[in-house]
Amino acid sequence: MPAGDEVMCAVGLKKSYDGRLVLDVERLGVRRGEVLAVLGPSGAGKTTLLRLLATLEEPSAGEVRFGDLVWAGRLSPADLLHWRRRLSFVPQNPVLFTGTVRFNVEMALALRGRDGPAASDEVEALLDRVGLLPLAGARAGSLSTGEAQRVCLARALVTRPDVLLFDEPTASLDPANVAIIEETLREAVRCWRPAVVIVTHNLFQARRVADRAALLVAGKLVEVGETGHLFDRPSDPRTAAFVRGEMVY
Amino acid sequence: MSRKGGPWLSAVSSWSELGGIILLSLAVSGTAVLLASAVGVPLGSLLGLSRFRGRPLVVRATYTLMGLPPTVAGLAVYMLLRAPGPLGGLGLIFTPAAMVIAQWVLVTPIIIGLVAAAVEDKDRRFRETAVLLGATPWQARLLVLREARPAVFAAVVAGLGRAMAEVGAVMLVGGNIRWQTRVMTTAILLETRRGNFGDALVLGGVLLVIGFLLNSAIHRFQTGEG
């Protein structure tokens, strides 16, 4: 089980592709009600880490712990389903199913066997929160990227997951959409205290939303700490260089 | 051959004969495509969604069969159905049923291959999203298939196009018998062999118009657009 109030943690987690080690994390946990930003240059292994946490990839070594469950590459179908139903994943590029905006958000509840007026109210409340209630009946394919990403956020939050994983959720969005997504995320954390891991290139965003930040370079954790501390008093020269906007390898 | 009161085609003596040829073309190709879809859509979906040992070989074999020459398919069906053949006792050779079988052999791999490619393409993008939304493996597969619906429809339309345009196989197993197994493409071939190129072109034009009307109806059904 994860230590203390940690909801999920990676222990000795390694991932290789064709013999090339792309991720080697000794230990990294995320606590309930905490937003953990994972920073790093392109190719640092950030997305691989998220995919491992979501059980989309099998670890080459080590494990991910989530409650009583351990992901080391093998879980029973029931446990795998239980794991995935307790988390939500918001990808960099929104993926919406054919149908209306409402259908896409309701789907997350319907797949869990939840429908009816109560579910419908939850969907409407979230669509309202992300400013999409007027577009509830619109075709998902007619949305802008920003609107589609807000639908993905609503869909991720409607199940009130224990863990939220974000992979560069605002990378291609305008400031107005970024503000809506960040504020909705903060509200969710205040409301039911999920553990949040957000992968981002945006240092300003990390400072705005994250309680803690971790720097990943070439698959290894360089430094993990309180966001303010990591940005203002980094203990590793590579962290100092990264937060100054310099290239690190 | 009298052209009096007929549609001005030497191989077709009356409007009723032309109508019969058109109806038989539609019936043979439509039945073949329906049967090919009944087999090809489930098999193509399964192939697109599954990962098993030997799958690349199955995919390559399917793609090869998509380009099966109609005369080869016709010859194989002919050998099966002719009098001393294994299924000769059924008495199907030189009947519309034999033509349906030959077209089914040609169209089924096309539908399997196109459906598999469409489903595989959607699978990459949507299966992961579905499982991360909490879908069971079966729910995820159904959601992928749901996304692939337009492409599955397009595969069936492509199969219908292949069946309607096919001549070699139906000629071999149907025999182009007047009033019995003559369809649009075999009538065109007959006119061409007789040197009646103008008539052949007119029949070709009729076939194209029928194809256009069919595809328009299918498109309208699929999209709800006019």
Mutate to test the interface with B, among A81, A153, A160 (most CBs of B within 10 A): A81
Beta strands in chain A (DSSP E): 6-17, 20-31, 35-39, 61-66, 69-71, 87-90, 163-167, 195-199, 212-217, 220-226
Give the angle subtended at the CA of B3 by the CAs of B2 and B8, to the nearest 5°: 150
* pLDDT classification of B220: cutoffs 50, 70, 90: confident
* pLDDT classification of A79: cutoffs 50, 70, 90: very high
Min Cα distance B132 → chain A (Å) is 6
Write out pLDDT tens, residues B67-87. Answer: 999 999 999 999 999 988 899
Mean pLDDT along residues B6-33: 84
With a threshold of 0.85, tell me whether the complex ipTM lies above it: yes
Min Cα distance A231 → chain B (Å) is 32
Min Cα distance A143 → chain B (Å) is 17
With 50 as the cut, is the pLDDT of residue B1 above it? no
Residue A138: beta bridge partners?
A: none
Min Cα distance B139 → chain A (Å) is 8
β-bridge pairing A87-90 and A35-39: unpaired
Mutate to test the interface with A, among B121, B133, B139 (most CBs of A within 10 A): B133
Which member of B125, B133, B136 has the closest CB to residue A108? B133
Describe the strand order of the beta sheet including A69-71 as a list of residue ranges: A69-71, A61-66, A6-17, A20-31, A220-226, A212-217, A35-39, A195-199, A163-167, A87-90
Tell me how far apart the alpha carbons of residues B78 and B94 are, in angstroms, rounded to a whole number.
9
First to last CA, chain B: 42
How many inter-chain contacts (A to B, CB under 8 Å) are there? 38
Mutate to test the interface with A, among B125, B132, B142, B146 (most CBs of A within 10 A): B132
Is the CB of residue A157 less than 8 Å from the CB of residue A188?
A: yes
Tell me how far apart the alpha carbons of residues B21 and B181 are, in angstroms, rounded to a whole number.
8
Tell me how far apart the alpha carbons of residues A33 and A188 are, in angstroms, rounded to a whole number.
9
Torsion on CA atoms A87, A195, A39, B135, rounded to nearest 10:
0
Write out pLDDT tens, residues A138-152. Answer: 999 999 999 999 999
Interface residue A107 vs chain B (CB under 8 A): yes
Mean pLDDT along residues B101-105: 97
Is the CB of residue B186 less than 8 Å from the CB of residue B167?
A: yes
With 80 as the cut, is the pLDDT of residue B226 above it? no
Interface residue B151 vs chain A (CB under 8 A): no
Is the CB of residue A24 less than 8 Å from the CB of residue A14?
A: yes
Supply the pTM of this predicted model: 0.80
Which member of B125, B128, B133 has the closest CB to residue A111? B133
Task: Verify whether the Cβ–Cβ distance B134 to A95 is below 8 Å.
Answer: no
Query: Scanning the structure block, which residue is given the tokens 């419908």?
Result: A120
Write out pLDDT tens, residues B107-155. Answer: 999 999 999 999 998 887 899 999 999 999 999 999 999 999 989 999 9
